[in-house]
Structure 1
Amino acid sequence: MELPPQPSEKVITMDSFTSITLAELLTNISSEQEVADRMSLSVGPLTLDSRQIKSGDTFVAIAGYQTDGRKFIESALNNGAALIIAEADESDEYREKYGEDNRIIWVKNLRQQVSLLASNYYQHPSHSLKAIGVTGTNGKTSCSYLIAKTLQRLHFECYLLGTLGVGQSSNLESCENTTADAITMQRVLAQAVGAGAQFVSMEISSHGIDQDRAAAVKLNSAVFTNLTRDHLDYHGSMENYGEAKRKLFLPDNLKNAVINMDDRFGRKLAKDDEISATKWLVTTKLPTSGSNLNRWIWAEDVVLSLEGLHAKIYTPWGSGKLDSPLIGQFNLTNLLLVIAALGSILKDVNPVLLALKNVRSAPGRMQKIGNKHTPLAIVDYAHTPDALEKSLMAIREHCVGMIWCIFGCGGDRDQGKRPLMARVAEKFSNRVIVTTDNPRTEPAEKIKEDIYSGFRKINKVTYIESREEAIATALKKANPGDAVLIAGKGHEDYQIIGNEKLHLSDLEIAEKHIKELSDD
């Protein structure tokens, strides 16, 4: 097994950044005014949130998609900010207001440069790591988590950034977005270097790519899982959505591009001549006839069950047996992508296969709860039509009883997928309960109407607005041998209603009611 370079002896701590100068911070970033007389000034910690400012900090005021940070310049100064880096574009109003205040430096296209600004501040931590970025509609969390846990079993230190949180995979801090903001991302990467990590495994969403949050992260490998309908409220079209994903694979310094060839957009990426990285092609089928097998990773003799999966794996770095507790054909794809990502770096597949034998699924990803005396509850994050279909198909192949599907759709998000989710639930399950997901500020009744427009036969559909009641009802009515898929929220332990975030965990609710059934 080929080991990556060990981290440098220099240990980076958060305290070591207090001595950075303005000249170092602005390396390769051009300001709108002359700042030569200030280049030797020390710069304090960076933040995008004026409410978190402490004396001596630096406030980065970008014109965001939802909020213009320049509105909070005065608040940041009042809270003790020693320096403001502010967006110069379309800022006449703000520049007139603050005049020649020498605490403010105006930078054009600041949003696109925050990643570089933060990388400069934290001394380019990704250059000291093997960074693996995972993108795609579904499977990002599972793949990034499996990569981190597999490396941990191989005795490497790997940090994780994604939906589950940021930090060491066994001690994650919660994060608001799938892809952290540019400053948080660089801070966590610096913490990883300081902790002696050799790897970082990152989910990089289409929003994160489009908003340049990871623009200054030096990736060793990029992994593409799939492209199906989602986030069209943001991107506007599937073409724009795909182009955002494609951007992750274009940097000249990217070494490895791991691509799912069972996906149509993946096959397009494989033919993309603008991607200069070495392409590793993954399929659950057989490689394309006449292909160079030195670039393919595939599976044969596949056995799937609700207990896990088994397959013979072929790669350019050797072949071997894969035994995994994960369930479903889609998880075979995820595992092959993980094997390809790690094999392309470590150059030996057998230790990876051995480690994967004991790696469980990410929290809230096809997580099973139940026993032979109760129905089987399966909690999953599936919140797109494609993901819901794959989850239900994985259950259908092996469930001896009826399949129940509980799902809802998020408010203030892509409305077009709601009837599509209904059609999938109706087609692949025996009983459907529609409930709330994160309705946010959208009326639950409106979301319900959009979902119901996709059903053809509503006689097997029940609506229960309370998510906890919906789960409890399904588990009480289902029989041993039945499977109850609780879809949409996975690991999340909250529900957003209006502007409130209330505690609610599908896992906790399922475990509670399964225990009650077991005790009866």
Structure 2
Amino acid sequence: MKTQKNTKETIDGVHERFNGAVTLRDLAGSQARYVQGSGKTRVTSLVTDSRRVVPGSAFFALPGLRTDGNEHLQEALDRGAKVIISERDEIDLPLGVTGLKVDDPRLALAEFARRYHGTPDSVLRVVGITGTNGKTTVSTLTRHLMERPGRPVGLIGTVRYHLGDREIPSFKTTPESSDLFALLRGMLAAGCSEAVMEVSSHGIHQARVAGLGLEVAAFLNLTRDHLDYHGNMESYFREKRKIFNGANGSLPKIAVINGDCPYGRRLIEELPPQVQVLSFGLEDDNHFRAKNLSLQSGGSEFILEAPAGTMVVTSPLIGSYNVMNVLASFAILHALGHSVPDAVRKVGAFEGVDGRMETVEGGQSYQVVVDYAHTPDALRNALGMLRECTEGKLHLVFGCGGDRDKGKRLEMTKVACAGADKVWATADNPRTESQTDIFRDMRKGLSKGAKISFVEDRRRAISLALDAAEAKDIVLIAGKGHETFQEVQYTAIPFDDRLVAGELLAAKLLSA
């Protein structure tokens, strides 16, 4: 369901609506130690970016991958910061500025932000959805199934943030805690009583959701991704587990877990006994189970076995992995006390998600699909699903991101060559790496006789794939989905696969 009032706003606008003076003693937790000043200082905003500091702000000097907030203290002070929070023992501060020493600035930020915005998660019923793949689809579908006239539902995710009465472009899947609690407060102000959000492993590790109260935590799956950050799958899993076992600061009331996933089954075994579990999947022992699947080019149909009974589900989402996404949404609704039969009737009206199996029409005789698949498992699922739907050949355009898990690149190439008839490997957010180096890693996954071309220019690669397609073929452009830019050397260059494909189709139609 689309937001009824399509009012646009920025995150700065949200902060401006809710910023107000609060004494530091009302915000600081037990771990804070004053190195200068006192708790009487009044704080007007919580800021992590020195460029966003305004007079009266509390500036949190967060450690980062590329820069350290402590290196920007002078800029924050010049802009009027009244409080500096840092993990350093000694900070040279002018008179009139309060300094706090904390063990973990990110954790302190989450505690401050939650109190500053009035603990909105204690009033909102918040659903946190985590997993390698499917978070955006499940969160968007769940919100669609939950909303009723006059009862808006908030959403925080990869594509956009919905606050109930307005919409904000997403800038992080899981925003910083100072932004997150402001968004939740905005949802309450707009009349929301429930909110759905995507919870990334980075967001958990960086304490962006520390202490966040979750009514329901949902685990969708776990496959290879972000190992450049987490190091290995065990560390990756342990981060995800934190929002289920209390390590994040609170326990969810109910955990919705993929019972078919090996990591999901392990998670169920390791949960504290006070957390209720609802499992979903295709196997017999799940609380929400799909059987007799009928997968078609226009969607899917299956029999749902659930606590509320047995029902026939007709979904507009294609592919077996989207059946799992639908099951997850149904289980979440049941956990919240919503009617699953009503959700079954409503799922057919779901309009899908931007950049997820999104088709591009331009009068062509073949199908063009844009999808966000950027992990080996997601790409395998996308190709497998489209293979079931096409009567002709399956063409693929894909790439691997720079400055990210290099070991994933050969796996992506293996999946691409195994699943598509013809492949064009190209650029996908190279960031600071040379495309030549990225291609070198990708070539390690080549199989004998693979029909693959390496084309550095993404627009050119898409054009070549469209030229090769014939009637009844499918062209999958994978990796970027809803994104509207390419990241190159710290610069965001405008690039939207959907727009580019549409422009190329229009040009080819004119020249035909």
Fold in common (TM above 0.5): yes
| Separation (CA, whole Å) in 2 of partners of 1:153 and 1:505 | 32
Match of 2:10 in 1: none
Corresponding residue for 1:284?
A: 282
Q: 1:111 to 1:16 in 2, by over 3 A?
A: closer
Query: By how many angstroms is 1:170 displaced?
Result: 8.6
- Supply the distance in 2 between the matched residues of 1:363 and 1:255 (Cα, whole angstroms): 31
| Contact kept in structure 1, 2:86 and 2:102, CA below 8 Å | yes
1:117-156 alignment to 2 at 5 Å?
A: 117-152=112-147, 156=151
Partner of 1:195: 190
CA-to-aligned-CA distance 1:74-117 (integer Å, 9 cap, x gap): 11111112222x223xx24x52x338764222222222221111
Unaligned 5+ segments in structure 2 are: 1-13
Q: Alpha-carbon deviation of 1:216?
A: 2.3
Check the 8 A contact 2:35/2:101 in 1, yes or no: no
Separation (CA, whole Å) in 2 of partners of 1:75 and 1:514: 49
Give the drift of 1:165: 2.6
- Which of 474, 483, 500 matches 1:483? 474
RMSD, matched Cα: 2.2
Instruction: Map 1:197-236 to 2 at 5 A.
Output: 197-236=192-231
Q: Which residue matches 1:240? A: 235
C-alpha spacing 1:155/1:82, structure 2 compared with 1 (3 Å): same
1:476 alignment partner, SS class: helix
- Supply the distance in 1 between the matched residues of 2:240 and 2:148 (Cα, whole angstroms): 30
Residue 40 of structure 1 deviates from its aligned partner by 3.7
Q: CA deviation at 1:512?
A: 2.5
SS at 1:218 equivalent: coil
**Rounded Cα–Cα distance in structure 2 between residues aligned with 1:352 and 1:505:** 33
Q: 8 Å contact 1:250–1:275 — kept in the other structure?
A: no
CA distance in 1, matches of 2:111, 2:54: 23
Q: Decide which of 23, 26, 39 is 2:25's aligned counterpart.
A: 23
**Inter-partner Cα distance in structure 2 for 1:195 and 1:168:** 7
Note the C-alpha offset of 1:465: 1.1
Query: Residue 362 of structure 1 corresponds to which residue in structure 2?
Result: 353
What is the alpha-carbon distance in structure 2 between the residues aligned to residue 259 and residue 130 of structure 1? Answer: 18
1:401 aligns with 2:401: no
Q: Which runs of 5+ in 1 are unaligned?
A: 1-11, 289-295
User: How many residues get paired?
Assistant: 495
Q: Hey, what does 2:48 align to over in structure 1?
A: 48
SS of the aligned residue for 2:43 comes to coil
Cα displacement string for residues 139-198 of structure 1 (whole angstroms, at most 9, x for unaligned residues)? 111111111222235653112112113233795423332211111111111111111111
Equivalences for residues 226-305 of structure 1 within 5 A: 226-251=221-246, 253-274=251-272, 276-287=274-285, 296-305=287-296
Q: The residue matched to 1:234 in structure 2 has which SS?
A: helix
Letter in 2 for 1:249: F
SS of structure 2 residue aligned to 1:98: coil
Whole-Å separation in 2 of the counterparts to 1:472 and 1:380: 17
Q: How does 1:313-328 map to 2 (within 5 A)?
A: 313-328=304-319
For 1:135 and 1:154, locate their aligned partners in 2 and report how far apart those are by CA, in whole Å: 28
| Residue of structure 1 in register with 2:5 after alignment | none
State the distance in 2 between where 1:154 and 1:304 align: 32
Question: After alignment, is 52-61 or 371-380 more displaced?
Answer: 371-380
Displacement, 1:377?
Answer: 0.9
| Distance apart, 1:248 and its partner CA | 1.1
Q: Is the 8 A contact 1:21 1:40 kept in 2?
A: yes
Q: Of 168, 174, 181, which residue of structure 1 is paired with 2:169?
A: 174
Distance 1:400 1:489, change over 3 A: same
* Equivalent-residue separation in structure 1 for 2:323 and 2:448 (angstroms): 33
Q: Is the 8 A contact 2:174 2:199 kept in 1?
A: yes
